[in-house]
Copies of this chain bind each other. A is one copy, B any other.
Amino acid sequence: MGCEQVVIPARTARAFRVRAGQTLRVIDVEGQQVADVFCATATEPAEILSGIVTTQLNKAVYLTTGHVLYSVRRRPLLTIVADTVGRHDLLMGACSAYSYRLRYGVEDHPSCQGLLGAVLAPLGVAPDVPDTFNAFMNVPVAPDGSLSIEVPLSRAGDSVTLRAEVDLLVGVSACPADLSACNGWNPTAIAVEIETPPDA
């Protein structure tokens, strides 16, 4: 198959073109590390991932194997086809300079929004990047509806694999959050493998 593994160093992001039928495997290299996954359709980069359309059409907030990520236009973009962890997040979106200022009073903190926006801009994607699939992020919903950011359940080598349903532009960031339990208080690397199945 000749699958190449791309390492995304801690606190950085990478953009990829993924063709329909290819799979994107997101690997937590050292464990307890979140990867924000953003995507837009290759044919129209304004058609981006929608967290709310995805919660609506799956009727679920914790996504795992069999669930589908949808666009703002209700088109299937990615299907989760394998998952060694079973806990990922869709409700916290991408961290941003704004969220670090609001929560921690910190200015100009590196963020998934900033990192993803920078690597996706050359592909024609607008920099807002509001909604992301946050692989390995552990955000339980309490009975009162409040959200908390807990240490990820992922260990070194754990992965989640998504199959592209249409040609996509995908951004993956190794989340730089170091002021919460998001990445076990220690941001590390993420790896990505893009594979073409034999029958594709």
Contact surface of A with B, Cβ cutoff 8 Å: 50-53, 55-57, 59-62, 72-74, 90-93, 96, 98-99, 102, 128, 130-131, 141, 144-148
Taking a contact as CB atoms under 8 Å apart, the answer to whether A52 and B91 are in contact is yes
Closest partner residue, chain B, to A95 (CB atom)? B56
- With A56-B92, A93-B56: A130-B99 Cβ-Cβ less than 8 Å: no
Closest Cβ of chain B to A97, distance in Å, is 9
- With A61-B91, A144-B62: A74-B96 Cβ-Cβ less than 8 Å: yes
Contacts of A93 in B (CB 8 A): 50, 52-53, 55-56
Closest Cβ of chain B to A191, distance in Å, is 26
Taking a contact as CB atoms under 8 Å apart, the answer to whether B146 and A92 are in contact is no
User: This chain: how many copies in the complex?
Assistant: 2
* A146 to B67 Cα, complex, angstroms: 12
The main secondary structure of chain A at its interface with chain B is loop
Q: CB < 8 Å: which of B55, B74, B146 contacts A60?
A: B146
Q: CB < 8 Å: which of B51, B52, B59 contacts A146?
A: B59
* A145 to B87 Cα, complex, angstroms: 10
Closest Cβ of chain B to A169, distance in Å, is 18
Closest Cβ of chain B to A68, distance in Å, is 10
Closest Cβ of chain B to A130, distance in Å, is 4
Taking a contact as CB atoms under 8 Å apart, the answer to whether B59 and A128 are in contact is no
Taking a contact as CB atoms under 8 Å apart, the answer to whether B55 and A147 are in contact is yes
- Known pairs A50-B130, A57-B98, A141-B141; list 15 more (Cβ under 8 Å): A51-B51, A52-B93, A55-B91, A55-B93, A55-B147, A56-B99, A59-B146, A59-B147, A59-B148, A60-B147, A62-B145, A72-B130, A73-B128, A74-B130, A141-B145
Contacts of A99 in B (CB 8 A): 56-57, 74
* A145 to B2 Cα, complex, angstroms: 37
